[in-house]
Amino acid sequence: MMLPSSFWKKSHSNFKLPGRAVRLVALLLLLGSSGYVLYLDITIRDAFEGRKFALPARVYGRALEVYPGLKLAREQFVGEFKSIGYHENPQPDEPATYKNTLNGMEFTTRDFVFGDGVQPAQRLRIEFADGKVSLLQVRGSNDVDMPLLRMEPPLIGGIYPGHNEDRELVRIGQVPKQLIDALIATEDRKFYTHWGIDPRGIARALYKTVTGQRIEGGSTLTQQLVKNFFLTSERTLTRKANEVLMALLLEMHYSKDEILETYLNEIFLGQDANRAIHGFGLASYFYFDHPLGRLEPQEIATLVGMVKGPTVYDPRKHPELALKRRNVVLQVMVSQNVITQAQFLAARREPLGVVQRAPAGTSPYPAFLQFVHRQLERDYREEDLRSEGLRIFTTLDPIVQHQAEEALASRLAAIEKARKFAANTLEGAVVVSSTQTGEIQAMVGGRDARYAGYNRAIDAQRPIGSLVKPIVYLTALEDPHRYTLITPLDDTPLVWSQPGTTDWKPQNYDHQFHGQVQLRTALAHSYNVSTARLGIELGVEHILGKLPLYGIERRPPPFASSLLGAFGLSPVEVAQLYQTFADGGFRTPLRGIRAIVTAEGKPLQRYPLNVEPVAAPAPVYLLTTALQGVVREGTAQSLSNWLPAEMNVAGKTGTTDDLRDSWFAGYTGDRVAVVWVGSDDYKTTGLTGASGAMTVWGEMMKNIQPEPLEPAMPENIEMVNVDPVSGLRYDAGCKAGVLLPFIKGSAPAESSHCGASSADRSGTKPEAKPGTEKKNWFQRLFD
């Protein structure tokens, strides 16, 4: 390492100093300043080396897979284009451009590095008919049909280094010569010849300062870089002196190209909410939405002009000032022969051409990003997340997310209005996942979905009330010798004493007791008393002990009241619970991340689909039938205001004491979704599960257009026509009967004449046919 002090000494060696004392003082000063310079040297080199590679992790949403037959409307596809920054162009042959045609669009994709390799840009055509993709082709001299297109995934956020700095790292070779020339012509014409400072500039600045005029620049690019490393608004002579020294030191250690490259990546060029835009690479995307290599002369001039004052000359906030500044730079460019006179004239005529885009801040989906970040923190060091430029591919589906956000905000506002609540008294959270893969498609942490604060979807643990009941009923249905969908349950007054608690006297929501009710009816109407009796009969510990099986780690208190949901879970935990019911007894851990790739595009980690069989398919099938009954004829009947009966939705309402929490959890053929509505301060809202959360759920699902629920029927299930009241078997053709699934061997044996239903027989317990030998359910699965 070259000693910085030697340099210092050299520049002072010509002074003649009279007298010993003076020489001693000078020596001491020299030593002292050498030490100081050494300190500055270390500081600036640390900054230079450290900053060179701090790249944020980029988080992407799911890549839309497009294929003929996909349910996708043209407007949704335009929305997708917007989210990945495509723009309209009458000649859509450049990457990220599109044009509308009669039935669809022509467009060109970008190169994109996925976890499984590069997907090159392609010129394509798409057409739509009846809300579906009807044609997908590669455009060429001969158009060729394409089976599948994976769009580039939308960038949904980043995990940023330091003070939320974001940048797109560029090598000096990737930067257009025109930009470098324009920058040097405008900011520092002697860059390639000076050694870090411009003495005339400094002299001028010094003169102005001393004569009481304002303290001003005269900075070389090197000095500006130093200034950028230690961003402060302080303008003092000391700081200026440090800056000069550090600039000199930088020039001693690094080549001009290294300094210029770092400058190009480091310079602050704007603010996007709480995200700082650093460097020309990112600024090029941020303002013009294309890479550096494709910048036009006037766009280069705009960016170079911003160096002088990124806030003052922000082309979005102050377009007139930015335009004026741009034209000044263009003038410089032509006078320094960076562009020709013709280019100059053409460029001056162009508008600013900045893409209008709402500032996204750190992420438009803060709740989901937080969920992803927590998952990442388990596997990675925070500093790596913030500096290694990892690319994180997630499961978020912006189309579903948008519907979830809209439904929550609009329904809560509507409820407040209808019930004359003060505005913004209600809060809520939504989680939507895919049934078969457990991928989280949407997560809303509160009605202001952009607010990056309290995330109710993962952090609010609210009593789940009746949402817990399916566990009780599933446990019962797992024993087909004792329980079927039509087994009568006892819904008469109950007093339960348990050491350690006061006597427990559960009540039904309607404050009535219903005598003998069929199991499916008790669940459909969410009767508390019969459920409590059933749960106690099966064993409180036994039922609660099953929670870990369904992916719930939290252990509720071992009291009978827990059977009615007197314990808190977060919406995402409830989604995990219902995922197993929706997926026929297979538990798939909910996932937010699919894969992580290094900055260079090398696969680092995959989060593969993982499936665990935790409940036998047949009882789960029965449970789903019962939960479909909740929607068809039970507490969630009014869901039909949103979704047609053919959807066959299975779901459960949840309402807690004094109407503090309103829940709905349910599933369609392809999605599991959970909604919670309540107030953050645990005040009563007057809402039941059906009047609050369920309306959000319905509104959201209506717009998502889910697949109808048709669970695969396990082989040990048979459909039997029974009298809906007595539960006795009818002939298959009897129209008065109801067709219900039974685990083979458990259907009622006793039959009745068609239509002989009578209420007085409803109490008789239909005989279960015994005889099936007891086997582990997993063994039965493979029978």
Partner 1 sequence: MINRYAWYLASAWLLLLAGCAGVSTQPSTTAATAGAAPSGAQQSGEGAIIKAVPKSAMSENKAVIALLDRAQIDNESGQREAAGSSLERALRIEPRNPWLWLELAQVRLAQGQYAQAITLAGKSNSFSARQPLVQAENWQVIGQARVAQGDSAGAEQAFKLAAEFAQQAKADADRNSGFNFQ
Q: Of the two residues 86 and 607, which places its CB atom closer to partner 1 in the complex?
A: 607
Cβ 485 to partner 1 shortest distance, Å:
20
Among 29, 215, 252, 611, contact with partner 1 (rule: CB under 8 A)? 611
Distance, in Å, from the CA atom of 556 to the CA atom of 572, rounded to the nearest integer, reads: 17
Query: Per this entry, what is the length of the chain?
Result: 783
Does position 433 bind partner 1 by CB under 8 A? no
Could you tell me which residues are beta bridge partners of residue 464? none
Distance, in Å, from the CA atom of 345 to the CA atom of 334, rounded to the nearest integer, reads: 10
Does position 69 bind partner 1 by CB under 8 A? yes
Q: Which amino acid is at 379?
A: D
Does position 714 bind partner 1 by CB under 8 A? yes
Angle subtended at Cα 767 by Cα 761 and Cα 771, rounded to the nearest 5 degrees: 175
Distance, in Å, from the CA atom of 212 to the CA atom of 210, rounded to the nearest integer, reads: 5
Residue 530 annotated as catalytic: no
Cβ 597 to partner 1 shortest distance, Å:
12
Does position 118 bind partner 1 by CB under 8 A? no
Distance, in Å, from the CA atom of 715 to the CA atom of 738, rounded to the nearest integer, reads: 20
Cβ 76 to partner 1 shortest distance, Å:
17
The 267-306 site mask, x for binding partner 1 (CB under 8 A), equals: ----------------------------------------
Does position 606 bind partner 1 by CB under 8 A? yes
Q: Of the two residues 3 and 148, which places its CB atom closer to partner 1 in the complex?
A: 148
Q: Of the two residues 438 and 737, which places its CB atom closer to partner 1 in the complex?
A: 438
Q: Of the two residues 299 and 439, which places its CB atom closer to partner 1 in the complex?
A: 439
Could you tell me which residues are beta bridge partners of residue 104? 127
Could you tell me which residues are beta bridge partners of residue 666? 651, 673
Does position 617 bind partner 1 by CB under 8 A? yes
Among 94, 416, 670, 718, contact with partner 1 (rule: CB under 8 A)? 670
Q: Of the two residues 120 and 755, which places its CB atom closer to partner 1 in the complex?
A: 120
**In contact, 307 and 186? CB cutoff 8 Å:** yes
Among 39, 53, 67, 451, contact with partner 1 (rule: CB under 8 A)? 67
Does position 109 bind partner 1 by CB under 8 A? no
Does position 549 bind partner 1 by CB under 8 A? no
Does position 15 bind partner 1 by CB under 8 A? no
Q: Which amino acid is at 728?
A: L
Q: Of the two residues 69 and 499, which places its CB atom closer to partner 1 in the complex?
A: 69
The one catalytic residue in 466, 691, 746, 762 is 466
Residues 6 or more apart whose Cβ sits within 8 Å of residue 11: none
One-character DSSP codes across 214-233: -------HHHHHHHHHT---
Among 46, 49, 93, 116, contact with partner 1 (rule: CB under 8 A)? 116
Among 598, 610, 684, 758, contact with partner 1 (rule: CB under 8 A)? 610
Among 712, 759, 760, 773, contact with partner 1 (rule: CB under 8 A)? 712
Does position 65 bind partner 1 by CB under 8 A? yes
Distance, in Å, from the CA atom of 250 to the CA atom of 261, rounded to the nearest integer, reads: 13
Q: Judged by CB under 8 A, how many residues of this single chain contact partner 1?
A: 34
Cβ 600 to partner 1 shortest distance, Å:
17
Does position 90 bind partner 1 by CB under 8 A? no
Cβ 60 to partner 1 shortest distance, Å:
15
Q: Backbone phi, then psi, for 722, in 5-degree steps? A: -125, 160
Q: Of the two residues 469 and 587, which places its CB atom closer to partner 1 in the complex?
A: 587
Distance, in Å, from the CA atom of 483 to the CA atom of 466, rounded to the nearest integer, reads: 20
Residues 6 or more apart whose Cβ sits within 8 Å of residue 99: 88, 89, 90, 91, 92, 105, 106, 107
Cβ 610 to partner 1 shortest distance, Å:
7
Q: Of the two residues 65 and 767, which places its CB atom closer to partner 1 in the complex?
A: 65
User: Applying CB under 8 A, which part among 8-16, 151-159, 343-351, 601-609 lies near partner 1?
Assistant: 601-609
Element at 184 (helix H, strand E):
helix 177-187
User: Applying CB under 8 A, which part among 18-26, 28-36, 424-432, 435-443 lies near partner 1?
Assistant: 435-443
Does position 603 bind partner 1 by CB under 8 A? yes
Q: Of the two residues 322 and 474, which places its CB atom closer to partner 1 in the complex?
A: 474
Distance, in Å, from the CA atom of 762 to the CA atom of 246, rounded to the nearest integer, reads: 91
Distance, in Å, from the CA atom of 403 to the CA atom of 449, rounded to the nearest integer, reads: 12
738-773 CB burial, b ≥16 within 10 A, e <16? bebbbbebbbbeeebeeeebeeeebeeebebeeeee
Among 215, 237, 345, 609, contact with partner 1 (rule: CB under 8 A)? 609
Closest Cα partner for 726 from 754, 768, 762, 767? 762
Q: Which amino acid is at 8?
A: W
Cβ 331 to partner 1 shortest distance, Å:
53
Closest Cα partner for 623 from 528, 714, 706? 714
Q: Within a 10 A sphere around the Cβ of 681, how many other Cβ atoms?
A: 8
Cβ 701 to partner 1 shortest distance, Å:
17
Does position 436 bind partner 1 by CB under 8 A? yes
Cβ 480 to partner 1 shortest distance, Å:
18
Among 435, 579, 653, 716, contact with partner 1 (rule: CB under 8 A)? 435
Does position 384 bind partner 1 by CB under 8 A? no
Among 19, 90, 608, 770, contact with partner 1 (rule: CB under 8 A)? 608
Longest dimension (CA), the chain: 129
Alpha helices in 462-596 (DSSP H): 469-477, 519-524, 528-538, 540-544, 571-582
In the region spanning residues 445 to 504, those forming contacts with partner 1, defined by CB under 8 A, are none
The one catalytic residue in 106, 165, 168, 187 is 187
Could you tell me which residues are beta bridge partners of residue 421? none
Q: Of the two residues 217 and 613, which places its CB atom closer to partner 1 in the complex?
A: 613
Distance, in Å, from the CA atom of 10 to the CA atom of 32, rounded to the nearest integer, reads: 16
Distance, in Å, from the CA atom of 455 to the CA atom of 453, rounded to the nearest integer, reads: 6
Distance, in Å, from the CA atom of 165 to the CA atom of 56, rounded to the nearest integer, reads: 8
Cβ 283 to partner 1 shortest distance, Å:
34
Q: Of the two residues 458 and 743, which places its CB atom closer to partner 1 in the complex?
A: 743
3-state secondary structure of 158: strand
> What is the SS3 string spanning 2-60?
CCHHHHHHHHHCCCCCCCHHHHHHHHHHHHHHHHHHHHHHHHHHHHHHHHHCCECEEEE
Cβ 379 to partner 1 shortest distance, Å:
16
Can you read off the two tokens belonging to residue 479? 């024993």
Cβ 400 to partner 1 shortest distance, Å:
13
In the region spanning residues 131 to 170, those forming contacts with partner 1, defined by CB under 8 A, are 147-148, 150
Among 713, 738, 754, 756, contact with partner 1 (rule: CB under 8 A)? 713
Cβ 718 to partner 1 shortest distance, Å:
13
Residue 600 annotated as catalytic: no
Does position 25 bind partner 1 by CB under 8 A? no
Q: Of the two residues 463 and 585, which places its CB atom closer to partner 1 in the complex?
A: 585
Among 527, 586, 697, 730, contact with partner 1 (rule: CB under 8 A)? 586
Q: Of the two residues 18 and 69, which places its CB atom closer to partner 1 in the complex?
A: 69
Does position 68 bind partner 1 by CB under 8 A? yes
Closest Cα partner for 26 from 15, 35, 41, 36? 15
Q: Backbone phi, then psi, for 89, in 5-degree steps? A: -155, 130
Alpha-carbon distance values, 357 to 84, 244, 275, 288, 734 (Å): 11, 39, 14, 10, 63
Closest Cα partner for 431 from 475, 396, 466? 396
Residues marked as catalytic: 187, 466
Binding residues for partner 1 (CB under 8 A) = 65, 67-69, 115-116, 147-148, 150, 434-437, 439, 584, 586, 594-595, 603, 606, 608-613, 617, 670, 712-715, 781-782
